[in-house]
Chains A and B, each alone.
Chain A
Amino acid sequence: MIELALFFSVLIGIYAIMALALNLQYGYAGLLNFGLVAFFAIGAYASALLSLSGVPVLIAMAIAAVIAAIVGALIAIPTMKLSVHYWAIVTISIAELIRVISTNEEWLTGGTFGLGDIPQPLAALVPLESYPLFFAGFTLVLVAACYLLSSALVHSPYGRVLKVIREDEDFGQSLGKDVASFKLRTMVVGAAMVGLAGALYAHFTTYITPQAFEPIVTFIIWAAVILGGKGNLLGSLLGATVIVLLYNSTRFIGDYVELSAVTLANIRLALIGLLIMLTVLLRPNGILPERKQVF
């Protein structure tokens, strides 16, 4: 039971980091990043490959976040002038492209067989029986760090420029804000955080395949941010918790009703889709709506 609780707390932590990143991008800056899973995959593969080739895990994770950030910048630079709708379409395409690459380039990613035996951080120092607890604590530290970083970013002059991107880009421009460069920076920060989450995931499961990087990951994070409340960082933590638990609780339906694995998987997906629609309809600002900053 404790094992299960620790397992879920790590999973929630991984999604919480990604939800914080998306909240920066969508909740504050209004950027429709539908390709989040690409950075998740890049972080996971980069950290896995680096640590498998002998780089210490913690350093591998840091490098993975940097690589994800660089890819984020490379994607953002040519596409930043596109309107939000186009950007949504482009980012989802890029994510699919990256998934196809991860499936096909077997020499690098192991193809559909994936990568196994990925080392875990500080595995030699922590006793085996308390390792799950250690990993949960490690995750918590990373979530806290990402939360503090996000909070510092949004409660600052930088954060106000983010919001003006969401509100009206032309207005921001007319006040002398170089909107494109702020989008780029937000893309890079978010990509680094999602990359870190990917790295964490790889070292948590110790085994990754392209199936772990389907577009549904992106949509789960979207559901978490919308449900939790866009423009509210605590909302992202809450949203990630609710969605991860809900998504995984359907696994237990199988204990009571005779259902095939495929049916169960699709019930989970339908639930995510339904939740997105219902939130948009009934509680468009989420459970914890954005708070007004009062001076």
Chain B
Amino acid sequence: MAASPIIDVSGLSISFRGVKALQDVSFALNSGEIVGLIGPNGSGKTTALNCLSGFLKPDAGVIRFKGEDITGQSPAEVANRGLMRTFQVTKLARRMTLIENLLLAAQKADDESLFATIFGRGTFARRQPRLLERARELLETVKLSHLENDYAGVLSGGQQRLLSIALVLIRDPDVILLDEPAAGVHPDLVVEFIAMVNRIREERGKSFLIIEHNMHFISSVCDNVVVLDAGTNLASGPPNVIHNDPRVLEVYLGTPQDA
């Protein structure tokens, strides 16, 4: 096996109404690796993640996933290839129960066609128990089993983040993009999050790209850190090296931290 990275971003650039949000940004993520994407507010982290997940089309640059060029593909296509994400402000189907959310995530496109819905109802009915079982397993993992038939809208912010990770996991992607998983989450839950991410990597061999302001989170899980500043690459390296990089300290760590 050649050690080519599972995600390879090169020369990513995008601008909004003339304002350059990303300029020639490049980074890579190896299979099984956890990489942190950090930088001050407005440095382009979420924009980069939106490009990776297909929600934004970059003006220039190439995004390769598992060796294939996925630049400009739709979010659904990217997700179906095995590159999935969560959102900074958690997105869920609020008026669907936790189980329904998980079934929605898990069900296969074949079962969603109009034809299958009208003429092939038996097929999904046979598959459903298996999916339900998986959904319940994952709810167990994120410790939300007791709420399985509640609407997702009633969950607390932290619980919503947990569910969103379960929703991603049930589709068994290769790479998971997390956008500020610890923001607004109770410190106890952050500890649990860190343990969970490490466990998912160990048990399932998933790779992660994580945007996070919480430096404790970053140094506890990340193998490597990529630092962006004003839409450009500033530095990259292992967390302990980045921690002491004077350029990073100046733009990022030097500024007061609340996290």
- Chain A residues within CB distance 8 Å of chain B: 149, 152-153, 156-161, 163-164, 166-168, 170-179, 182, 185, 189, 290, 292-295
Instruction: Out of B79, B94, B96, B111, name the residue touching A173 (CB < 8 Å).
Output: B79
Q: Are B171 and A161 in touch, CB under 8 angstroms?
A: no
* Chain B interface residue count, Cβ-Cβ cutoff 8 angstroms: 42
Chain A residues with CB below 8 A from B109, complex form = 176, 178
Given A161-B112, A167-B96, do A176 and B87 touch, yes or no (CB 8 Å)? no
Given A163-B95, A168-B91, do A175 and B167 touch, yes or no (CB 8 Å)? yes
Sample 25 A-B pairs with CB under 8 A, ordered by A number.
A152-B118, A152-B121, A157-B124, A158-B113, A160-B96, A160-B103, A161-B112, A163-B93, A163-B95, A164-B93, A166-B95, A167-B96, A168-B91, A168-B92, A168-B93, A171-B87, A171-B91, A173-B55, A174-B53, A174-B84, A174-B85, A176-B109, A178-B109, A294-B97, A295-B132
Q: What is the chain B residue whose CB lies nearest that of A168?
A: B91
Given A157-B111, A158-B112, A175-B171, do A170 and B121 touch, yes or no (CB 8 Å)? no
Q: What is the chain B residue whose CB lies nearest that of A188?
A: B114
Chain A residues with CB below 8 A from B97, complex form = 292-295
Q: How far is the CA of A189 from the CA of B115 in the complex (A)?
A: 12
Q: How far is the CA of A294 from the CA of B167 in the complex (A)?
A: 18
Given A171-B91, A173-B74, do A160 and B117 touch, yes or no (CB 8 Å)? no
Interface status of B30 (Cβ within 8 A of chain A) = no
Chain B residues with CB below 8 A from A177, complex form = 76, 104, 112
Q: Are A156 and B53 in touch, CB under 8 angstroms?
A: no
Q: Are B121 and A156 in touch, CB under 8 angstroms?
A: yes
Q: How far is the CA of A159 from the CA of B117 in the complex (A)?
A: 9
Interface status of B80 (Cβ within 8 A of chain A) = yes
Q: Are A157 and B117 in touch, CB under 8 angstroms?
A: yes
Given A163-B96, A164-B93, do A176 and B76 touch, yes or no (CB 8 Å)? yes
Q: Are A179 and B114 in touch, CB under 8 angstroms?
A: no
Q: How far is the CA of A176 from the CA of B94 in the complex (A)?
A: 18
Chain A residues with CB below 8 A from B118, complex form = 149, 152-153
Q: Are B74 and A156 in touch, CB under 8 angstroms?
A: no
Chain A residues with CB below 8 A from B84, complex form = 174-176
Chain A residues with CB below 8 A from B103, complex form = 157, 160, 295
- Rounded to whole Å, the gap between the CB of B92 and the closest CB of chain A is 6
Chain B residues with CB below 8 A from A189, complex form = 114
- Rounded to whole Å, the gap between the CB of B188 and the closest CB of chain A is 27
Interface status of B107 (Cβ within 8 A of chain A) = yes
Q: Are A173 and B124 in touch, CB under 8 angstroms?
A: no
Interface status of B149 (Cβ within 8 A of chain A) = yes
Q: What is the chain B residue whose CB lies nearest that of A290?
A: B95
Chain B residues with CB below 8 A from A182, complex form = 112
Chain A residues with CB below 8 A from B95, complex form = 163, 166-167, 290
Q: How far is the CA of A287 from the CA of B60 in the complex (A)?
A: 53
Chain A residues with CB below 8 A from B80, complex form = 176
Chain A residues with CB below 8 A from B55, complex form = 170, 173
Chain B residues with CB below 8 A from A173, complex form = 54-55, 74-76, 79
Q: What is the chain B residue whose CB lies nearest that of A178?
A: B76
Q: Are B93 and A171 in touch, CB under 8 angstroms?
A: yes
Q: What is the chain B residue whose CB lies nearest that of A148?
A: B118
Q: How far is the CA of A45 from the CA of B170 in the complex (A)?
A: 49
Q: Are A164 and B171 in touch, CB under 8 angstroms?
A: no
Chain B 137-150 against A: per-residue CB contact (8 Å), 1 yes, 0 no? 00000000000110
Given A160-B96, A164-B104, A167-B95, do A292 and B149 touch, yes or no (CB 8 Å)? yes
A-B contacts besides A168-B93, A295-B132, 15 pairs, CB < 8 Å: A157-B104, A157-B116, A158-B113, A160-B103, A163-B104, A167-B94, A171-B87, A174-B86, A175-B167, A176-B77, A176-B80, A177-B76, A189-B114, A293-B96, A295-B103
Given A153-B117, A164-B104, do A176 and B96 touch, yes or no (CB 8 Å)? no
Chain A residues with CB below 8 A from B9, complex form = none
Q: Are A295 and B149 in touch, CB under 8 angstroms?
A: yes
Interface status of B59 (Cβ within 8 A of chain A) = no
Q: How far is the CA of A293 from the CA of B76 in the complex (A)?
A: 25
Q: Are A156 and B171 in touch, CB under 8 angstroms?
A: no
Q: Are B99 and A158 in touch, CB under 8 angstroms?
A: no
- Rounded to whole Å, the gap between the CB of A146 and the closest CB of chain B is 13
Q: What is the chain A residue whose CB lies nearest that of B119?
A: A152
Chain A residues with CB below 8 A from B223, complex form = none
- Rounded to whole Å, the gap between the CB of A175 and the closest CB of chain B is 5
Q: Are B132 and A176 in touch, CB under 8 angstroms?
A: no
- Rounded to whole Å, the gap between the CB of B200 and the closest CB of chain A is 18
Q: How far is the CA of A290 from the CA of B153 in the complex (A)?
A: 15
